[in-house]
């Protein structure tokens, strides 16, 4: 497919420097729809976060951010919040406050 450029250059879009390129348009709401071939090549799925980094006034680099989902039970923060702690003995509030003061001044 040949594409005319504003300054009169003609680009062959398809295979450019060994990389698959595609064109897409920005709609009135500034959304970009990626070509099916490009989506398959870079494994973009609905809901993925894409970071756009400006390179100059007319180009940007796009990076697909992938956050792998892991079970909550494997997360250390989740374990701390959901594992009950059994105190060895009851500590009165006054004693607890005194212990915390001593820790703070160490």
Q: How far is CA 79 from CA 67, 88, 92, in A?
A: 20, 20, 27
Give the end-to-end CA distance of the chain in Å, rounded to a whole number: 72
Instruction: For residue 99, count other CB atoms closer than 10 A to its CB.
Output: 11
Question: Tens digit of pLDDT for each residue in 29-83?
Answer: 998 888 888 888 888 888 888 888 898 888 888 888 877 777 778 888 888 888 8
**pLDDT given at position 89:** 85
pLDDT in tens, 78-100: 888 888 888 788 889 999 899 99
Task: Give pTM, 2 decimals.
Answer: 0.44
């Amino acid at each position: 497919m040949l594409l005319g450029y504003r300054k009169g250059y003609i680009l062959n879009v398809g295979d450019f420097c060994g990389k698959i390129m595609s064109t897409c348009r920005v709609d009135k709401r500034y959304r970009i729809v990626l070509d099916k071939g490009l989506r398959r090549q870079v494994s973009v799925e609905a809901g993925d976060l894409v970071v756009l980094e400006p390179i100059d006034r007319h180009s940007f680099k796009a990076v697909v951010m992938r956050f792998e989902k892991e079970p909550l039970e494997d997360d250390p923060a989740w374990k701390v919040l959901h594992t009950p702690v059994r105190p060895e003995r009851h500590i009165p509030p006054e004693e607890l406050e005194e212990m915390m003061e001593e820790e703070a001044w160490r």
